[in-house]
Amino acid sequence: MAEAFIVAARRTAGGRRNGRLSGWHPVDLAARVLDTLIEDTRIDPAAVDDVIMGCVSQIGEQSTNVARNAVLASRLLPESVPGTSVDRQCGSSQQTLHFAAQAVMSGTMDCVIAAGIESMTRIPMFSPSELPRKAGLGEYTSADMRRKYGDVQFSQFIGAEMMAQKYGLSKRQLDEYALSSHRRAAAATRAGRFSREIIPVAVRRNDTAGDETASDEMHTADEGIRFDATLEAIAGVRPLQDGGLITAANASQICDGGSGVMLASERALKRFGLQPLARIHHMSVIGHDPVIMLEAPIPATELALRKAGMEIQDIDAFEVNEAFASVPLAWLKKTGADPARLNVNGGAIALGHPLGASGTKLMATLIHVLQQREGRYGLQTMCEGGGMANVTIIERL
């Protein structure tokens, strides 16, 4: 089977809700990511076979195939480049990477962009289910689903609490992990370790007419990092439910952002003189319990390593999405991975979790971490709504 290579990997810095990216229409921000990948590689834009884009809240400004709209908004990509949008919840753009790699490995395509976009300011989380429900268009759960699983609530927040309880995690452990995320992200930012992955974008302000105007101010650093974070402040945040362990401080931040990677075949490497950053070594995805929901990265990691013929100690760097602190902590406890190799530049608790953009965002970070640490193998996984998880293992080149 042919191999797939990552030749470019970039992301925007995360923007807080109503923050420095909130003036960007998500289509335009996604187009900025696509253009940057073309500029980085200097390939013929018409040679891109497809754009596959993850987005969770595909409604309003992110509806009607946001991937194709981003291509049409691009300064560089011609109309001949198609686009399609993917929803695998939080793993949406990690799945686009898998689809793109599979297209290249099949030999049917030579150059595919996998990307993600989410403006959680402009399209609030849960909009695709809440707005239709309020309009009388029904619930996303069916009678047969409820009959199968009983009178339960499919909720990531409940799942996060269940994870903490199942794996014996204390409130202090969750809060200490959250503090470490901010401290690692702050240290990485001060040291310039994100500079090669971040796409500088102008800060746009909406005027009273709703028009977007660019300013001379550039957004170049993740907006959610608490450089002065303390354990006392984190511990003082009220739990999301009475008697619970999960708080806004030990959970991922609402975030606006875009990200993308370009995948190429060996034939494309030669044609365009591209220097690969990494090779796709393994890809897998599983379904798991939709009630606890967030546990799937644990069996997914075990399955991926077994299929790849690897051990956990073979991996030099891990990116496990910090949807809630209970997720990476439970993952560490069960897999026995080295904590010093996990989310070394912080994670979504500090940097934000732009839903559909998080998959390729984490991949951009993972590639650059491997470069900085001169590691060989990296593994990425994340929990996903509905009880799923993707795993991607890459080899740095």
Q: Dump the DSSP string for 59-82.
A: SGGGTTTHHHHHHHH-SS--TTS-
> Strand, helix or coil at 97?
helix
Known active-site residue 55: no
The single residue of 55, 111, 255, 383 carrying the catalytic annotation is: 383
At residue 23's C-alpha, the angle toward residues 350 and 21, to 5°, is 20
Tokens of 43: 């390939």
* Rounded distance between C-alpha atoms, residue 10 and residue 59, angstroms: 25
Provide the pLDDT for residue 133: 82
The single residue of 55, 90, 111, 255 carrying the catalytic annotation is: 90
What does 276-287 look like in DSSP terms, one character per residue?
Answer: -SEEEEEEEEEE
Known active-site residue 111: no
Would you give the DSSP letter of residue 342? B
Q: Of 83, 81, 79, which is closest to residue 66 (Cα–Cα)?
A: 83
For residue 248, the Cα-to-chain-centroid distance in whole angstroms is 19
Residues paired with 284 in a beta bridge: 391
* Rounded distance between C-alpha atoms, residue 179 and residue 236, angstroms: 13
In order of 190, 202, 233, 396, the CA distances from 228 in angstroms are 13, 26, 10, 34
Beta strands in 18-75 (DSSP E): 50-54
In order of 9, 112, 174, 205, 255, the CA distances from 262 in angstroms are 7, 6, 35, 30, 23
The single residue of 219, 288, 353, 368 carrying the catalytic annotation is: 353
User: What is this structure's pTM?
Assistant: 0.96
Provide the pLDDT for residue 141: 86
* Rounded distance between C-alpha atoms, residue 94 and residue 386, angstroms: 16
Residues 133-187 have pLDDT tens digits of 888 888 888 889 888 998 888 999 999 999 999 999 999 999 999 999 999 999 9
In order of 14, 32, 52, 55, the CA distances from 70 in angstroms are 19, 8, 11, 12
* Rounded distance between C-alpha atoms, residue 146 and residue 154, angstroms: 10
Q: Please, what are the domains in the chain?
A: 5-124+190-225+252-396 (3.40.47.10)
Known active-site residue 383: yes
> Strand, helix or coil at 15?
strand
Provide the pLDDT for residue 131: 83
Provide the pLDDT for residue 135: 85
Per-residue pLDDT tens listing for the chain (397 residues): 899 999 999 999 999 999 999 999 999 999 999 999 999 999 999 999 999 999 999 999 999 999 999 999 999 999 999 999 999 999 999 999 999 999 999 999 999 999 999 999 999 988 888 888 888 888 888 889 888 998 888 999 999 999 999 999 999 999 999 999 999 999 999 999 999 999 999 998 764 444 555 567 999 999 999 999 999 999 999 999 998 999 999 999 999 999 999 999 999 999 999 999 999 999 999 999 999 999 999 999 999 999 999 999 999 999 999 999 999 999 999 999 999 999 999 999 999 999 999 999 999 999 999 999 999 999 999 999 999 999 999 999 9
Provide the pLDDT for residue 152: 87
What does 170-209 look like in DSSP terms, one character per residue?
Answer: -HHHHHHHHHHHHHHHHHHHHTTTTTTTEE-EEEEEE-TT
Residues 330-378 have pLDDT tens digits of 999 999 999 999 999 999 999 999 999 999 999 999 999 999 999 999 9
Residue carrying structure tokens 């619930």: 139
Helix (H) or strand (E) holding 336: none
In order of 25, 89, 166, 228, 239, the CA distances from 383 in angstroms are 27, 9, 16, 29, 21
Phi and psi angles of residue 34, each rounded to the nearest 5 degrees, phi first? -60, -45
Q: Of 200, 260, 222, which is closest to residue 10 (Cα–Cα)?
A: 260
Tokens of 116: 């993600």
Q: Of 252, 253, 261, 219, which is closest to residue 13 (Cα–Cα)?
A: 219
Q: 210: phi > 0 → left, psi -120 to 50 → alpha, else beta; which?
A: left
Provide the pLDDT for residue 209: 42
Return the axis-axis angle of helices 297-308 and 326-335, rounded to nearest 10°: 40
* Rounded distance between C-alpha atoms, residue 49 and residue 67, angstroms: 13
Q: Of 174, 191, 332, which is closest to residue 239 (Cα–Cα)?
A: 174
